[in-house]
Structure 1
Amino acid sequence: MKIYKLLFLGLGLTTMSSCSDFLDQTSPSELDNGATFDNTYYTELALNKVYGSLTQDQTYSNFMPIIAGTNTDCELIDGLGADASNTSSERGNMNYNMNPGWAQIAKVWDAMYGVIENANLVVDGVNKSQLLQQGGSTRNTMLRFQAEAKTLRAMVYFDLVRLFGDIPFKTESSNSNLSNVYIGKTDRDAIMDSLIVDLKEAIAYLPWAGVDGYTTEHVTKGYAHGLLANIAMTRAGYVIREQAKEGYVNGQNSDPNYPTQRCSDEKRKELYQLAEKHLVAVISSGKHQLNSSVEEYWRLMNISNWIKLIRKTYLKFRWV
């Protein structure tokens, strides 16, 4: 009797193993990460997904340029409407009167981190690609794809920092068991320091606009230089912090609980010099038509010479 029981148990285990193998199937048309990033064509398609996700309403098609980008020295949204306590609408958000529970904020958060996840997949995929072992144009193409993904990721993280302050910072693709997904916040200064390092690496592999047919439909060397300079100047400035940082300079009328602080004078000078270095790189390259002065920009705007103004002006949402 024991022999029969052992026999049936063995048959059962075999059946379960066979069933498991049977259910673990892949489609002939399915591409895993290895196959995707060992081919330049498919790698570019993965990169295109990052660009495509920038066109969502919750990212750069609507929220970032229109809702988060107004009430500056260039644009004004008039008041809060009929309800002065309006905190759960676009108008409230545009007037620094936003309710954290406003539903649109969660959508923006999810969409922006979705862009980052897509970029992380490209960065990790290229790092593991067999094509990096090859020399010549194939290797350079893959490193350019990775540089584009790093630059786009830096752009999104930078805007998230400006919107939310200290945020979760993840530069690797998510594990299937989600073990690296639920992470805490990282200090915004540490995030911006890391983005500056990424952009320095990316600049080396990005072409200038117009070189060998490379167009501004992709991020360019000029854009990465400009973005790095913008991050460096923001890093040097005052922000409201969740808690005071030792060695930092307090701003005037700083709140004792949520202080307004910036880095030390020495660090600030270093960051301004870094920004200047990268802005000079764009100017001295001769690759872009730039306004000669702020005065010229103001003059063109007042005579409504929009065509010349747009052609000669660095716009935040235009790759340069």
Structure 2
Amino acid sequence: MRIAVDAMGGDFAPQAMVEGVMLAKKEFPEIEFQLYGKEAEIRKYLTDETNITIIHTDEKINSEDEPVKAIRRKKQASMVLAAQAVKDGSADALFSAGNTGALLAAGLFIVGRIKGIERPGLMSTLPVIGTEKGFDMLDLGANAENKPEHLLQYAILGSYYAKNVRKIAQPKVGLLNNGTEESKGNELSKKAFELLQANEEIHFIGNVEARELLEGRADVVVTDGFTGNAVLKSIEGTALGMMKLLKQAILSSGIKGKVGALLLKDGLSDLKEQMDYAKHGGAVLFGLKAPVIKTHGAAKADAVAATIRQIHTMLASDVVNQLVAHFEGER
């Protein structure tokens, strides 16, 4: 397995990326890592150079760069070179914590989409309360607008991922909607419902509401990119807000509150761990000819290592080639 890593992407690059690679190397010594970026900066954090290749470049894509222009103009950027390595076949997957829009553009324009996939979707595994299972949701923002046919493709993509990567034998697929009744929703939702219900390749369970997502009613949830991104940001914001409110309540409740918090410390730590979706890995731009994975820009070494574990599972399961056979075999 060969993973092309944009070592200069992210808020804490290259330190977080390289330290994460070092953690992952202990678990997966067979992986070959290609680190793209400033060699001198990368070497500061290397503790083991076995199966490590550094491809030096001084150019990188910044967070404020316009994505498509950056991909087209910065030909020597670390992200672009890593994507080109995947396209050329010298790497099997692309991994970055950098500019999300630029990574989407690099995936689409350099790595390329699977024939038959009209709009690749951005997918993450999000937490479910009370279990380690989680659920996969897409599209989370790769596309501002979608057609019903796209949502059907997302259901198939998500089902393949849940089966092969998360080892769920028969993933339950839900359509995010403003009600559980079949008649609910706008034209996109109603037409998508018909397509999903008629497709025998997936286990469609009907509409799911946003309030049901964290209960784990579905293993795969599909929606358009605009709605998916808004829901994702709402979940993130609510989780952060609740933790802040809890901390404020403890600090303002005097000695009793602080003693209570001390007694609940382990439980609160478990809650925080359970709601941390970074442990499931990064966001996958799914529907491309190879895995293209984005971890959070503020990711530290442990989140980077978790994403590499996710990439390892994707490559070991050969899920992308299965999707190629599925969609290109239909043509």
What TM-score, normalized to structure 2? 0.22
Higher-Rg structure is: 1
Bigger share in strand: 2
Normalised by the size of structure 1, how large is the TM-score? 0.23
Higher helix share: 1
Taking CA–CA contacts closer than 8 Å with sequence separation of 6 or more, which of the two structures ends up with the larger relative contact order? 2
